[in-house]
Amino acid sequence: MAKLIAIAHQKGGVGKSTLALNLAYRFSKEVKTALTDTDPQGSTMQLRDIVEGIDILEYEGTSSLKTKPYDVIFIDTPPYLIENMIPLFLASDFVLIPTKAGVTDIMAIRATIELVKEAQKKKPELKAGIVLNMVKPRANITSEAKKELEVFDLPILAEIRDRVVFNNTFLSGGISTGSDQQAIQELEQLTKEILNLL
């Protein structure tokens, strides 16, 4: 059965779709990987005819996804809390919550985390992790953000910095095919951590 990794945060623009695609490319080097989006109008589905080297599946619910011949399927979600978020989390093996380090982003993360916690009560084996994305090279802001996030008692995974490579290298292979070695390194680290937790 395929393991499902849902990527969620009710706020738009925190990097859900960007990380979904780049992680899917990176994971595909290790295990058989696909990508989907609960929102048929979402950016991941719009990329379907453009990107190469990764299978982007139509979303037909989690039960059908689990039977697909993949080891891992990333599920991108829209930037609002869909009402069936809890069933999605309950069907998932891992929920990845990307966030920016800004005050409003951290405030907005609470709603998503509460849903994850609610799902974990019913399904204790559900794993989750927060990833600070688009981190600016002002470390004090990030450490403050981390302090705010620690109260939620979820693993805070490898952080991804704000890098132009994410805006211009995605159509075939993601940032791993680009020349930004530090970005590649960060993605490697994040991949390793998620694989370890899965």
Residues that bind Mg ion (CB under 5 A): 16-17, 43
Would you tell me how many other CB atoms lie within 10 Å of the CB of residue 43? Answer: 16
SS3 96: strand
Choices 45-53, 80-88, 142-150, 155-163 (CB under 6 A): range interacting with ligand ADP: 155-163
Choices 6-14, 31-39, 87-95, 116-124 (CB under 6 A): range interacting with ligand ADP: 6-14
Among 3, 32, 43, 193, binds ligand ADP (CB under 6 A): 43
Structure tokens at 34: 């696909």
> What x-and-dash track marks residues 174-193 binding ligand ADP by CB under 6 A?
--------------------
Choices 10-18, 28-36, 62-70, 86-94 (CB under 6 A): range interacting with ligand ADP: 10-18
- Compute the least distance from the CB of residue 73 to ligand ADP, in Å: 17
Structure tokens at 4: 């499902």
What are 48-56's contacts with CB under 8 Å, separation 24+? 50/171, 51/21, 51/170, 51/171, 51/172, 52/171, 52/172, 52/173, 53/25, 53/28, 53/172, 53/173, 54/21, 54/24, 54/25, 54/28
Choices 33-41, 118-126, 138-146, 162-170 (CB under 6 A): range interacting with ligand ADP: 162-170
Helices (H), the chain: 16-27, 43-46, 62-66, 85-91, 103-122, 139-150, 165-168, 181-197
Query: Is position 18 an interface residue for ligand ADP (rule: CB under 6 A)?
Result: yes
Q: Which CB sits closer to Mg ion, 76 or 159?
A: 76
Tell me which of Mg ion, ligand ADP, none is bound by residue 53, counting a contact when its beta carbon lies within the kind-specific cut-off of 5 to 8 angstroms: none
Q: Which residues bind ligand ADP (CB under 6 A)?
A: 12-18, 43, 79, 133-134, 160, 162-163, 166-167
